[in-house]
Amino acid sequence: MTDAEVPESHPRHDSLVTRHRVEAGVEKGITSRQGLIAQGRGEAFDYLLGEATLPSADRAARAAAAHFLLADHPVISVNGNVAALVPGEMVDLAGATGADLEVNLFNRTDERVRAIAAHLREHGATEVKGLTADARIPGLDHERAKVDADGIAAADVVLVPLEDGDRAEALGAMDKTQLVVDLNPLSRSARAATVPIVDNVIRAVPNIAAHARELRGADRDTLEGVVAEFDADAALDAAERAIREGGDRDGAESE
C-alpha cells in the first residue's frame, strides 16, 4: 500500500502514511531498519499528545524560526527517518531560512549518505553537505561525530530533528544553538535543546517554515524578542502535562 492508497477517511491515516514512508525509506536504502523502531516509539508519544501540535510546540516552532533568521550559519541535520518522512519539507525549510542541509547518520555508510543526498536533490535541494566528513564533533565516539567542516562544524544554529541525545549535548558543549524536534519531552535531546519542539516532525518542519516566512521581514529586535520570550522548561512541562493528563489538551497547557 502506498501513501495514495491509504484512504483519508481512515482514522489512522497520518500514522499509516508515515509508517509506509519509513518502510519505503528502508527499501530505498536511505533509512536503517532501526529507524522502524524509532518511528514506532515516536508514534506512541504522538498518540499520547493527541496527534496534534500543542500551543507550546507552536511557540517553540516560532522561536526556532527566529533563531534561524538570526543565525550567521544555520544548518539542518538530516538522518534517514527525516529523509524518508519530510524530504521536500526539509528542502522548503532550508529555502525559507537560508540554512544548509547536511546528512548526519548513526548507522553511516558512504552509500547511505549518497542515497540520502540524492533523495533530497530529487525533492529540490541544490546542495547537500555531509559527504565530505572532514571534521568531527568532540566527545562522540560513533559515526554521528563525522560532519563537514563548512557545515555542522561551523554552524552557530543546528536543527537536530528526532531523538539524538548525545549529539545534542555535544553540540551544546560547542556553544551551538540546538533546535530539537522530539516527541518525548523527557528525552535527553529535548532536555539539552535550546529550543525543544515536542511535535511530530511531519507537522513541526512545515510549521517552522511557515513561521520563518511570517517573520522574515521582521527587524532584529523583533526576532530577538521572540527568542527571549520562549521558555524551554515551560514548553517541556506543558508537553509532559498533556501526555499525563490527556483529554483537554488546551486545558493541560493553561498557564
Instruction: Profile the chain (255 residues) by mean pLDDT over runs of 10 residues.
Output: 56 63 69 62 81 95 98 95 92 98 90 92 96 92 90 96 79 94 92 95 96 97 98 97 71 45
Q: Which of 20, 48, 49, 50 is nearest to 36 (CA)?
A: 20
C-alpha 94: how far from chain center: 12
Which residues have CB under 8 Å from 213's CB, separation 6+? Answer: 96
Q: Which fold has domain 55-228+235-245?
A: Rossmann fold (3.40.50)
Q: Quick one: three-class SS letters along the chain?
A: CCHHHCCCCCCCHHHHHHHHHHHHHHHHCCCCCHHHHHHHHHHHHHHHCCCCCCHHHHHHHHHHHHHHHHCCCEEEEECHHHHHHCHHHHHHHHHHHCCEEEECCCCCCHHHHHHHHHHHHHCCCCCCECCCCCEECCCCCCHHHEECCCCHHHCCEEEEECCCHHHHHHHHHCCCEEEEECCCCCCHHHHHCCEEECCCHHHHHHHHHHHHHHHCCCCHHHHHHHHHHCCHHHHHHHHHHHHHHCCCHHHHCCC
Domain boundaries, the chain: 55-228+235-245
Instruction: Give Cα separations from 97 to 60, 94, 181, 189 (angstroms).
Output: 16, 5, 16, 22
Helix axes 232-245, 34-48, angle to 10 degrees: 80
pLDDT of residue 142: 83
pLDDT of residue 43: 78
| Residue bearing cell 533563531 | 67
Do 112 and 120 form a contact (C-beta atoms < 8 A)? Answer: no
Other CB atoms within a 10 A radius of the CB of residue 179 amount to 29
pLDDT of residue 248: 44
d(CA 157, CA 75): 6
Do 8 and 21 form a contact (C-beta atoms < 8 A)? Answer: no
**Residue 152 corresponds to which amino acid?**
I
